[in-house]
Homo-oligomer: A and B are copies of this chain.
Amino acid sequence: MTETNAVLIGKKPIMNYVLACITTFHGGAKEVSIKARGRAISRAIDVAEVVRHRFLPDVKIKSIGIGTDQFLPQDEGDQATNVSTIEIKLIR
């Protein structure tokens, strides 16, 4: 089994995550997985595009997957909430 380095996208400036990806590749990783949920998804794509086009032109997109995470309600009677997810695998 190959270990994959994951970068989880949150609310920090995009460059923080870009740097995390670059550092991971420079540390010898062959693959970096960018993961995000909900509104952070568009930022995940920004990160992948900046890494590829501005910093590491030899990095390619291996795969892009989307999915749904379900959050169960805290109280009975509430509805479960669905949140979309994305995983972008970059490979060098």
Contact = CB atoms under 8 A, between A and B. Distances in A.
Contact of A66 (B38, B61, B65): B61
B67 A49 contact: yes
A31 to B, nearest CB: 17
State which size class the interface on A falls in.
Answer: 20 to 34
Contacts of A48: 66
A65 B45 CA distance: 10
A62 interface: no
A85 B88 CA distance: 14
Interface of A: 38-42, 45-46, 48-49, 53, 61, 64-68, 82, 84-86, 88
| 9 residue pairs, one from A and one from B, having the closest CB atoms | A41-B42, A64-B64, A45-B84, A49-B68, A45-B66, A46-B84, A39-B42, A49-B84, A42-B42
